[in-house]
Chains A and B, each alone.
Chain A
Amino acid sequence: MDKSLAFRMQNIDRRILYIVLLAIVVIGLIFPIPLPLAISPQAQKFFDAVEKAPTNKAAIVSVVWSASTQGENRPQTEVFIRHLMSRRIRILIMAFGGDAQSVTLAQEITGDLAKEYNYEYGKDWISLGYRLDQTGTLKGALLDIVQVYKTDSKERRPLGEWPVMAGVKSLKDIGVVGEISASGAYKNWIGLVGSAMSAPLCYGPTSVMAPELYTYLDSGQIAGMMFGIKGAAEYEALLVKSGVLKKAGFTTRAITPISLALVLLFVLIGLGNWGMYAARKAEAKG
């Protein structure tokens, strides 16, 4: 075995790795590979929870993400809101987290989809706004949403005046809750209000966060989950299957570069390890 080749395999210049990764991502986006996507049980449960949500009750879309994780959280938010709108369920948007961007981003997504589904602000959907402190807000909203939020965040009009709030006094009057998040905020929902609400709580975390949530899926405290952008792609596939969407969109397309990047990662780890063993073998032989 050529010792220098083994050594080179362990020390590929990082600039080469960056260029290969960039090329793979770009090529993957331009030429998506049509591969079958298996629907995970967690995504199916999320979809089913929204599908079973009563249409006479409002849904809460809680957003706890900023532009930094929009690669995963934006498609998750989009497919969830699209599904709610296709069922004509009223939407209340809540925003939390350390970054106030969440409310603007969620309003932007909902506003765009609202045009497609003919959703009217104040009648079919409303933005309750951003709150820095999620624990206090949720505890308060469990008793009285209007008293905690007082006004909507777009028009700054008293919340009780909007038709969308008809029949919604507290979190107990909600039909389904979905939180799209890049943080561990699910603990506040589960710990503070989950047991008092009748609505199922669904979760859309980033991929790195998702493994933490399986324990709550097991216990039934979380009804369903979208595992990062892959979960969003599965949800999109379910929307296509149920006829809500005519064809899969960018979310499904984005799975190809992610797949290719992971394959590159496996290949590189394999090369590095092969190089290490080859070098050791060559050294042992002298």
Chain B
Amino acid sequence: MDWLQRLLSRLFPPLHGTGFYIAIIVCLILFVALFFVIQLLPPKARKMIIVGATFFAGLFYAAEFFLPASPKPKDENFLTFAVPTVANFQNVLTAFTLGLGIYSLVRVHGSNVLKQKPNWENSVVLLGGMIVMAVAGLGWGEKSLFYRSLFRDVLANFDGAMFAILAFFIISAAYRAFRIRSAEATLLMVSALVVMLGQIPIGQFITSGLPENGSYLSLLRLDNISNWLLTTVNAPATRAISFGLGIGALAIGLRLWLSLERGAYFEAKAE
């Protein structure tokens, strides 16, 4: 199937410089035009297009994975050559979700500001921050002092501080909520205590007099008990949850791929 690869390379040669930007603009215009054409179609036809596009998009990886590969060392089938290109395509598509996020933020917070809803001042700060950061990055560039100051000195510290505040809430919440009222709660409390103590030097210090290994007494060391709880008690439970999650994800994946999910795009209009 080398002919397919050669044909595609000839049809879509790598572009650089001006040609590359012209191609992006042409693609954008084509996709906007396509969007409006799809809008003009009757709902059922529109749904069929979306179902078909979803199916064929998902089919690529499934087919590439399941179709027999040529013997090693090549270990490839006729679709394998396209995987890096599809990966780039996937990245571009995923990047569009950032655009959707920005659009959504501007719409919601712009409306808050214009209608002066309660706490609209926070929305002004958010929109202002977003614009200043974007201007710093796009206008001045990553290496500029302006961008680096905003990123490293402001954003990174704010972000870190916000997460650090969680420690205060955890202390307060654990103190108020962790009451031993049943046997299960006692078990949970004791195992949590042992695991946490085993993770910190102060806890490890308590049993540091016992041998590290090579003796039955080493089994009583807090760090060893903590490790045993994590590897022998916690790991199988996590594994069981992962199995359940995996099967669920497979079922959901299949339903999405085959557009069997209720409330699919345009479904209401199509029916």
Q: CB within 8 Å of B: which residues of A?
A: 12, 14, 17-18, 21-22, 25, 33, 35-38, 40-41, 66-71, 101, 104-105, 108, 131-133, 135-137, 139-144, 147-148, 207, 211-212, 214-215, 217-218, 227, 230, 255-256, 258-266, 268-269, 271-273, 276
Residue B184 is within 8 A (CB to CB) of chain A in the complex: no
Residue B31 is within 8 A (CB to CB) of chain A in the complex: no
Contacts A68-B160, A108-B152 given; does A21 touch B223 at CB 8 Å: no
Across the interface, B199 reaches (CB within 8 A) one of A136, A227, A276, namely: A227
Interchain CB contact under 8 A, B205 and A36: yes
What 5 A-B pairs are tightest by C-beta distance, nearest first? A140-B87, A136-B90, A35-B201, A67-B159, A67-B156
A70 to B160, CA, bound (A): 7
Chain A nearest CB, measured from B178 CB (Å)? 5
Interchain CB contact under 8 A, B86 and A136: yes
A45 to B199, CA, bound (A): 17
Interchain CB contact under 8 A, B156 and A215: no
Q: CB within 8 Å of A: which residues of B?
A: 61, 80-81, 83-91, 93-95, 97-98, 142, 151-152, 155-157, 159-160, 162-164, 167-168, 170-172, 174-176, 178-180, 189, 193, 196-197, 199-205, 208, 212, 221, 223, 227, 230-231, 234-236, 238-239, 242
Which residues from B are CB-within-8-Å of A266? 193, 196-197
Contacts A211-B238, A218-B231 given; does A148 touch B171 at CB 8 Å: no
Nearest chain-B residue to A135 (Cβ)?
A: B90
A195 to B97, CA, bound (A): 30
Contacts A132-B91, A140-B87, A272-B179 given; does A21 touch B163 at CB 8 Å: no
Interchain CB contact under 8 A, B172 and A18: yes
Nearest chain-B residue to A158 (Cβ)?
A: B16
A261 to B164, CA, bound (A): 13
Interface centre among B84, B90, B163 (most CB of A within 10 A): B84
Interface centre among B199, B205, B223, B239 (most CB of A within 10 A): B199
User: What secondary structure prevails in chain B residues at the interface with A?
Assistant: helix
Interchain CB contact under 8 A, B179 and A276: yes
Across the interface, A40 reaches (CB within 8 A) one of B94, B179, B223, namely: B223
A262 to B227, CA, bound (A): 18
Chain A nearest CB, measured from B98 CB (Å)? 7
Interchain CB contact under 8 A, B163 and A230: no
Across the interface, B200 reaches (CB within 8 A) one of A40, A70, A101, A230, namely: A230
Which residues from A are CB-within-8-Å of B160? 67-68, 70-71
Which residues from A are CB-within-8-Å of B179? 272-273, 276
Interchain CB contact under 8 A, A148 and B208: no
Which residues from B are CB-within-8-Å of A147? 84-85, 88
Interchain CB contact under 8 A, A14 and B91: no
Which residues from A are CB-within-8-Å of B201? 33, 35-37, 255-256, 259
Which residues from A are CB-within-8-Å of B93? 133
A33 to B236, CA, bound (A): 36
